[in-house]
Amino acid sequence: MTAFVRSAGFLTSVQDLARTGYRQAGVSLGGALDTHALKVANALIGNEDNAAGIEVTLGKLRLSFEDNRLIAWCGGEFSIRIGDQNLPAGHAGLVAKNDEVTITAPNAGGRAWLAISGGIDVPIVLGSRSTDLRGNFGGHEGRALRDGDVLPLSKERRFIPRPRDPKTNGGLESAAPWGAPATWACIAHEKVVLRIVRGTDWERFTAGAEQSLVASAFTVTSDSDRMGARLDGPELKRVESGDLLSEAVAPGTLQVPPNGQPILLLGDCQTIGGYPKIAHVITVDLPIAAQLWPGDTVRFHEVPLVEAQALLREREKDFALFRAGVALHLR
């Protein structure tokens, strides 16, 4: 049981929810840059939350499977087809043996997460199936996918979908009529506002810098990648210069190197960093951050910590309900 990568696209990799437990050894979390999107896509087709899926960057991916599989995807404004039928974001679709799945370039946003029923069965390395692209381990041979790759798929645990049969309503049509909430499924925003909480080094910045951070627009620069989105905007000045000791950082940390241009850290970021942390993007807004692309503009809006935590708890509750609801459909 395999998936055949007919065309691998720009930067496609196998990712699960992250590699935890090895920060002490300097190993990045990695995983899907938008873990919520992968969880939703997995839930839609009856996978475990942490099943490994495919992170697609800028599309141009073509895939087919050796047997019948369900798929679902969430992410930017991509267009994904099964054969010649459109599969909307946040919906389960049945891919019959030898059907081709095509993902085209996005209209907005840059990344999407595709889940395949059963999940991708690459070996677990340091507790995760995620590809560490800089460390060259995990995922499929520790690297981005290439044309012609063959990916092992796990046997489905929950059910085997029946092939499409237009005469009956018993089997799933190519796209299921029910789906995930639109805000979870398609994440590209035209005017990006990321909510932040103050960072541990907030006080090290001038009042002007603190004001600029929440009042100005920042542009994502071209040297951004899975480690972080580099931003260009007004210089965020510190009260005093001088080196700081490195300490823990995490996806969402907004750090400011000496040139005053902030870097928004993403999933592949280093485990520790020595630049001052002016703020942190709140966890529920990381899916929006994962869609940032060079040339996009982004603004920041400060919220109290308790609000950030309440939003996260609420989303986790909503997700649990959603997964229970999907289970009823998939029975």
| Residue tagged 């690297």 (tokens) | 143
Question: Taking the complex as a whole, how short is the minimal distance between the CB of residue 232 and another protein, in angstroms?
Answer: 21
Q: Work out which of 69, 91, 111, 280 binds another protein, going by CB under 8 A.
A: 280
Site string for another protein, 172-201 (x = CB under 8 A): -------------------------x-xx-
In the chain, the largest separation of any two C-alpha atoms, in whole Å, equals 73
Pick the piece of the chain touching another protein (CB under 8 A) from 24-32, 51-59, 113-121, 144-152. 24-32
Q: Are 210 and 297 in contact (CB under 8 A)?
A: no
Residue 259 burial (CB count, 10 A): 8
How many residues belong to the site for another protein (CB under 8 A)?
Answer: 41
Binder of another protein out of 247, 294, 301, 327 (CB under 8 A): 247
CB of 31: closest distance to another protein in angstroms?
A: 13
Per DSSP, 204 falls in state G
The CB-side HSE value for 192 (13 A sphere, CA atoms) comes to 26
Alpha-carbon distances, residue 165 vs 161, 171, 286, 328, 331 (angstroms): 11, 7, 40, 21, 19
For residue 319, what is the enclosing H or E element? helix 305-330
Closer residue to another protein, CB minimum distance, 132 or 296: 132
Pick the stretch among 31-39, 58-66, 107-115, 273-281 that binds another protein (CB under 8 A): 273-281
Residue of 245, 259, 328, 331 interacting with another protein (CB under 8 A): 245
> Restricting to residues 196-235, which ones interact with another protein according to CB under 8 A?
197, 199-200
Q: In this chain, which of 44, 101, 282, 290 binds another protein, going by CB under 8 A?
A: 282
Kindly tell me which residue out of 150, 214, 239, 248 binds another protein, with binding defined by CB under 8 A. Answer: 248
Q: Which stretch binds another protein (CB under 8 A): 72-80, 152-160, 207-215, 265-273?
A: 265-273
Residues in the chain: 331
Print the binding letters for residues 303-322 with another protein: x by CB under 8 A, - otherwise: --x--xx--xx--x------
Question: By C-beta, is 230 or 280 nearer to another protein?
Answer: 280
Residues facing residue 128 across a β-bridge:
125
Phi, psi values for residue 286, rounded to 5°: -60, -35
Q: 237-245 — which CB contacts under 8 Å span 24+ positions?
A: 237/205, 237/206, 237/208, 237/209, 238/204, 238/205, 238/206, 238/209, 238/276, 239/203, 239/204, 239/205, 239/206, 240/204, 243/274, 244/201, 244/274, 244/275, 244/276, 245/274
Per-residue binding string, another protein, 137-166, x by CB under 8 A, is xx----------------------------
Span of 61-69, 207-215, 222-230, 271-279 interacting with another protein by CB under 8 A? 271-279
Which of 73, 137 has the CB closer to another protein?
137
Within 13 A of 313's CA, how many CA atoms are on the CB side?
A: 6
For another protein, the binding residues (CB under 8 A) are 20-28, 125-126, 132, 134-135, 137-138, 197, 199-200, 245-250, 252-253, 270-272, 277, 280-283, 305, 308-309, 312-313, 316
